Structure 1
Amino acid sequence: MGNCRSSSRALLGKTHVVPDSEWGIQDLGKTHVPVFEWRIQDFSSLLKTGAKSTISGAFRCSGYNWFLQVIPMHKEAGAGTPYVALRLVPSQLSLVPGHTVHAVFELSIYNHTKGMYCGCKATYNFDFKNTYSKEHCLIPLQELQKSSAFLVDDSCVFAVEILKIDVSSPEKKAVVVQKKATIVQNLFVQNKGFVKGTYTWTMNNFLELDLKHFVRSPTFEVGGQNCHGFLR
């Protein structure tokens, strides 16, 4: 799992500002430009809903569709302090069975005071059955809630940069990660509970479906958002 550390803010009776390095993250520099940036508005509402995780919309990089998953209250076995953790997730629909995608990437959170991203470098081997990287802890949840550097107007910004991709396959090849403009998404959390409803998906050719891959439903609307159902 990810690397989580707990730290104390009390030092000889004085307020002690914990440096980012004690949380297992480091400054990535003001020249760091992520491939994907995700701003979560009303972060406190996300906690109130009790959501175990939330996942971004898809973004494309180097021929693959990816998602960024935020786990706001991640706890490792034996750890008492919940951390805000991130995961990188490729779309299974863009992976090829039998191929392994070795990715080198950076997961980060934006520090408004320093004007730069702070995060960690990670690697993971993705394949058709392993589509979630390990959880990587960035900052203790309690520290984030108190911070005016990472949490501004109840919103925080998470990001990912994909540095390198190698594909292991019968015809092994390296994928060149091309630098493009940062893709930006926003998530607005509404503390209104769950939207209840029923969607019926009628399949006239069920026995003819190729269930080796996902089958996606037609688009339907939930709470003003376009959604899809998946069957495998």
Structure 2
Amino acid sequence: MKRELDKEDDIFNATTDKNGKQRFRKLPPAHYTFEIESFSSLLKTKMENYETKDFEVDGYKWRMVLYPNRKSKKEGGSRHISLFLAVTEPAGVSFGWEVNISATFFVFDGIRDRYLAVQDADQMYWRFHKFKTEWGFLDFLSHDTLRDPSNGFLLDDRIILGVEGDSNPSGTHLSLYLHLDDSESLHTGRKLYAKWSLRIKNCTNRNHYEKEEAEHWFDSPGQGFGCIDFMLLSTLKDPSMGYLVNDCMIIEAEFNLISVELQIAMKRDTSNATIDKNGKQRFRKLPPAHYTFEIESFSSLLETKVEKYETKDFEAGGYKWRMVLYPNGKNKEDGSRHISLFLALAEPAGVSFGWELNVTATFFVLDRTRDRHLAVQDADQLSWRFHKFKAEWGVLDFLSHQALHDPSNGFLVDNRIVLGVEVFVIKFSGAGESLSFVKEPAHGLYTWTIDNFSTLDKNLCFSDVFIVEGTKWCVLIFCVVKAVAFA
């Protein structure tokens, strides 16, 4: 929904702060206005959030979601208003639906008869889909700013908020994204790491256009990551640049590193184990009974700078669990470098009210030189108590990087490390996974030739699906306004 803007509306005589997220204008919100006549009374109700009734923009139904009293993690815990936009009928749209919308929130300055307009400067478009149906600002307006009488936002205990959005403004930039299209292999709890480059080929010379290499851990199908302002449309359409020739454009997606998960089977070994004198560590031949996790390129995992990696779920003792690995340690502020290893209950919401589990768990790391496992158990608490407020237990200093990289220990051989866990009674199941990183994978370069670019639907256009190391991907483009967009 659009309308022409009259110069008398004075929206261009606005002041813009240094980060480009805020400005003032006279024109009221185009799509929805929400007035609270007694803000203090709303706070007294201790209501966590308030949702407005539905309104329609560009064929979709939306609502505003207000959190009147959120405690900010910044600014010493000051109180803020949080304001969000939610799509209200995601179940009623087509499978694989996606809406990209440029949204602006407003608060009325009653003294000067104008609106403060706030828009996300980092993401000019918010991408709504099955797994992300709400976007907004956690720290939209602090209570101190709201109550400052000189700002005019709260007069006679009344505040007026608003929103407008546009899912189809005329474009100024071409957006280019890599999209994970695999709902089969990316099971619950699995993460997939990729490092890639996207480029637009120059058809007249080799001066191809690309941004710096991107990387991301994907954790759900349908995720897309890329650049909202990849290239100016004016640059793309300039005949002298060579990117669009005879209305034809060529896009390349090239993978430089990708993680691969393989299922592995373990053989049971009933050899006797030896126990060291402090009771925390021992060596044994028997492999972990319940879960094994192999990392085929530990250095590549460190390069991703991921804080933690969670394995997929496994079952032990009638409950579902997962291992949580912190490759550089959890909460390490002293500079020491250790692997931290934790056990987490994967489905705490599925157990009964007031639940409590007492668990005896043992972690393992394989000594490949001697074909044995180092078993590590908490000597201070041989039984871990899992409950509503404590669903994760583990060992902070499970293994130092120094011990890991010492070749005499045999823990890291050919850049591979094998970890494992036993929960409750040792009962061999043999489930496991192997996390491997493939550099410059075969068939890792995909070329997408777009003919008749001028006739495309610029809202959203997907390439054909292509496969890299068993995972399905596609590339998507759309055009956006790289500016504050008012409907």
Q: Residues 97 and 190 of structure 1: is their aligned pair in 2 closer, same or farther, counting only changes over 3 Å?
A: farther
1:156 pairs, out of 381, 399, 417, with 417
TM-score after normalising by structure 1 = 0.61
The answer on 1:107 being equivalent to 2:367 is no
TM-score for the superposition, normalised by structure 2:
0.30
Greater relative contact order (CA < 8 Å, ≥ 6 in sequence) = 1
- Alignment CA distance shift 1:53-1:75 (3 Å): closer
CA contact (8 A) 2:281 2:377 kept: no
Q: Which amino acid aligns with 1:142?
A: Q
Equivalent position of 1:188 in the other structure = 436
Aligned residues: 164
Partner of 2:392: 132
Segment drifting more, 34-43 vs 140-149: 140-149
Distance 1:128 1:78, change over 3 A: closer
Query: Residues 77 and 71 from structure 1, CA distance in 2 versus in 1: closer, same or farther, beyond 3 angstroms?
Result: closer
Instruction: Name the residue aligned to 1:169.
Output: none
Q: Would the aligned equivalents of 1:52 and 1:72 in 2 still touch at CA under 8 Å? A: yes
Amino acid at match of 1:46: L
| Per-residue Cα deviation, 1:102-153 (whole angstroms, up to 9, x for no partner) | 1011011111122111131133211233211143422211331343601122
CA distance in 1, matches of 2:415, 2:290: 24
1:82 maps to 337
For the aligned residue pairs, the C-alpha RMSD in angstroms reads 3.1
Cα shift readout 1:57-86 (whole Å, capped 9, x = no counterpart): 111111111101111111666644211120
Structure 1 residue identity aligned to 2:407 = S
Distance change (3 Å), C-alpha of 1:33 and 1:135: closer
What amino acid does structure 2 have at the position aligned with 1:124?
W
Matched-pair contact (CA < 8 Å) for 1:108–1:138: no
User: Partner residue of 2:316?
Assistant: 61
Deviation at 1:187, TM superposition (A): 1.2
SS at structure 2 position matched to 1:28: strand
1:45 matched residue in structure 2: 300
**Correspondence for 1:28:** 283
- In structure 2, give the amino acid aligned to 1:43: F
Aligned to 2:320, the other structure's residue is in SS state strand
Q: Quick one: which amino acid aligns to residue 363 of structure 2?
A: L
Alpha-carbon displacement from aligned partner over 1:203-232 (angstroms, at most 9, x marks no partner): xxxxxxxxxxxxxxxxxxxx837xxxxxxx
Per-residue deviation, 1:51: 1.0
* 8 A contact 2:307–2:328 mirrored in 1: yes
Separation (CA, whole Å) in 2 of partners of 1:40 and 1:46: 8
For 1:111 and 1:178, how far apart are their aligned partners in 2? 20
Given that 2:340 and 2:394 are in contact with CA atoms closer than 8 Å, whether structure 1 keeps it comes out as: no
Amino acid aligned to 1:155 = R
What pairs up with 1:199-218 in 2 under 5 angstroms?
none
What is the match of residue 118 of structure 1? 374
Amino acid at match of 1:150: F
Give the counterpart of 1:73 among 328, 332, 340: 328
Q: Read off the aligned partner of 1:135 and give its amino acid letter.
A: V
Indicate the residue corresponding to 1:143 in structure 2: 403
- Identical-pair percentage: 22
Q: Distance in 2 between matches of 1:111 and 1:25?
A: 17
Letter aligned with residue 421 of structure 2: V
Q: Is the 8 A contact 2:284 2:375 kept in 1?
A: no
Q: Which runs of 5+ in 2 are unaligned?
A: 1-275, 441-467, 473-487
How far apart are residue 32 of structure 1 and its match? 5.1
Gaps of 5+ in 1: 1-20, 165-176, 193-222, 226-232
